[in-house]
Amino acid sequence: MAKTPKAYKEVARMSNDELISAKGLGISQENLTLINAEIAMRIESGKLEPPRTECFCCGKKLDLDIHCGDDKPHVISPVYEGLRFRSSGNFGSTIYDPMPISKREFLEIVVCDACIMKRKEKVRHVYGVRTSTTSEAKPFDPESE
């Protein structure tokens, strides 16, 4: 009979809160894989609620999927039935414009697809971005996407 690795035993003893918070720490890829597997098993067995977020506009609960990478130990993506929006600030904002820009920080909101569709005439589809200051824009038309 194969021995259970010590790391797996430690992960299996962690509480749900400890598991979720551990994903944000700088841990080894091997332990991260064990933590992801344990989280998936607990979600499947009903012992842990799947990760969710809320629509910024209407509050609808939206499911998330957790993906982890070597350089980003806790990046939550994608949002199902919604879109994620990030802003690194704006020169004209009176509430958020972190300086210097190289801090690599941002504000983030999630908006459900239904809210986007309710106000689609207010959404601009930006495309053909050639530099950080030049692009083209047109009215958003989900039918042509």
Q: 58 and 97 share a domain?
A: yes
pLDDT digits (tens, 9 = 90+) for 43-90: 788 887 777 888 999 999 988 776 543 344 345 567 889 998 888 888
Omega of the bond leading into 51 within 30 degrees of 0 (cis): no
Q: 107 and 124 share a domain?
A: yes
Q: Tell me which residue has tokens 């994903």.
A: 23
Evaluate if residue 119 carries a pLDDT over 90.
yes
Per the structure, the count of domains in the chain is 2
Q: 40 and 56 share a domain?
A: no
Q: Residues 91, 37: contact at Cβ < 8 Å?
A: no
Tell me the sheet residues that pair with 83: 111
Q: In this structure, what DSSP letter does residue 44 have?
A: H
pLDDT digits (tens, 9 = 90+) for 25-42: 556 666 667 777 777 787
Q: 106 and 37 share a domain?
A: no
CA dihedral 120→122→127→133, nearest 10 degrees, is -160
Q: 105 and 116 share a domain?
A: yes
Tokens of 20: 């979720």
- The more confidently predicted of residues 110 and 71 is 110
Distance CA 112, CA 80 (A): 8
Distance CA 80, CA 64 (A): 6
Domain hosting residue 1, numbered range: 1-48
pLDDT of residue 77: 63
